[in-house]
Amino acid sequence: MSQNILEIKDLFVQYSAGKDTVRAVNGINLTLEEGESLGLVGETGAGKTTTALSIMRLIPNPPGKITGGEILYRGENLMEKSEAEMRKIRGHEISMIFQDPMTALNPMLSVGDQIAEVIRLHEKISRADAMRKACAMMEVVGIEGGRAGEYPHQFSGGMKQRIVIAIALACNPSLLIADEPTTALDVTIQAQVLELIEQLKRKFNTSLLLITHDLGVVAEVCSKVAIIYAGEIVEYGTLKHIYENPSHPYTIGLFGSIPNLNETVHRLSPIPGLMPDPTKLPDGCAFEERCSQACEACGKGVMPYVEIEPGHMVRCIKFAGKEC
């Protein structure tokens, strides 16, 4: 059996905004095996990016704070690492691709410098060697190495994202976190970038945590899927589990909001309502208000996390043997 490269246990993250406390992540549990790809799916504000930043220990503090839980990377708790130890892990062991390539690159530095920076941080090589390696890395992501001296504003959005990917993979990390890597890009470019990520993942045998709100993207790249809602994992399973047997009402709702070309549908069925205000999360199930199958029992207590088939977990009272 392959080893777990990443294990998140009971992670809680809060942001304080004046008097209010935003409970962004509320007890997330996730595991990612070596070489595997896990898709973390949820809508805006569900706590996806917060989870990713927690793994890198890059939650801006203040106002954010990890208030509980453990994040184990290869069995070691990242929460207990010193800042200096974390710096050795960031960019070297765990890398991250950010959502918006337009703002993720420093406009004042040449792209070659920005790639070489991460190389020089983690490998003891000369400036010139690092630059040569940066050029090689640019070739790997499909950009002429000769353009290393150019600045971010001279590249298009898709090209910039390729450079961000080059930075993330330059030191051959074991774990890559991709936070909505394609959201800000044109549809045609999206496919190219996804393909590139997948291909490089295979080439370098990197484990991947892919964060997205796009179930289509997940289906293309991932083998496991976790659905996140209001800072909680509501459903977790293999790609097959989730796509063939979506069980949580929210997951079902997500699939209902996507147009399907194979069926003639007259009207999409979007999920009614909005995610609850993270400063005032309700007692009981966070999805209750929008759930068509909600009952009285949903309004109280902690929802049970039930394994409905081997490896397929659902956080819903329906599956706990209770009648609604």
Q: Which residues bind another protein (CB under 8 A)?
A: 56, 58, 60, 83, 86-92, 95-96, 98, 100, 103-110, 114, 117-118, 121-122, 151, 153-154, 164, 167-168
Least separation in angstroms between CB 15 and another protein: 14
CB of 19 to another protein, least distance (A): 11
What is the enclosing helix (H) or strand (E) of 296? none
Nearer to another protein, 153 or 267 (CB): 153
* Smallest separation (angstroms) from another protein to the CB of 188: 24
Q: Least CB distance from residue 170 to another protein, whole Å?
A: 9
CB of 107 to another protein, least distance (A): 6
DSSP assignment, residue 26? E
Q: Pick the closer one to another protein by CB: 91 or 246.
A: 91
Choose between 155 and 229: whose C-beta lies nearer to another protein.
155
DSSP-derived secondary structure letter, 25: E
- Nearer to another protein among residue 168 and residue 275 (C-beta): 168
CB of 108 to another protein, least distance (A): 4
**Cα within 13 Å of Cα(40), Cβ side:** 30
The DSSP secondary structure of 189-258, one letter per residue, reads HHHHHHHHHHHHHHHHT-EEEEEES-HHHHHHH-SEEEEEETTEEEEEEEHHHHHHS--SHHHHHHHHTS
In angstroms, rounded to a whole number, what is the distance separating the alpha carbons of residues 258 and 255?
Answer: 6
How far is 168 from 195, CA to CA, in rounded Å? 16
Nearer to another protein, 40 or 314 (CB): 40
Task: Find the shortest distance in angstroms from Cβ 271 to another protein.
Answer: 29
The radius of gyration of the chain from alpha carbons, rounded to an integer in Å, stands at 21
Please state the three-class secondary structure of 112-142 as a single string.
HHHHHHHHHHHCCCCHHHHHHHHHHHHHHCC
Q: What CA–CA distance (Å, rounded) separates 157 from 155?
A: 7
Given the complex with another protein, which of 7 and 123 has the nearer CB atom?
123
Q: Which is nearer to another protein, 151 or 319 (CB)?
A: 151
User: Is the bond leading into 63 cis (omega within 30 degrees of zero)?
Assistant: yes
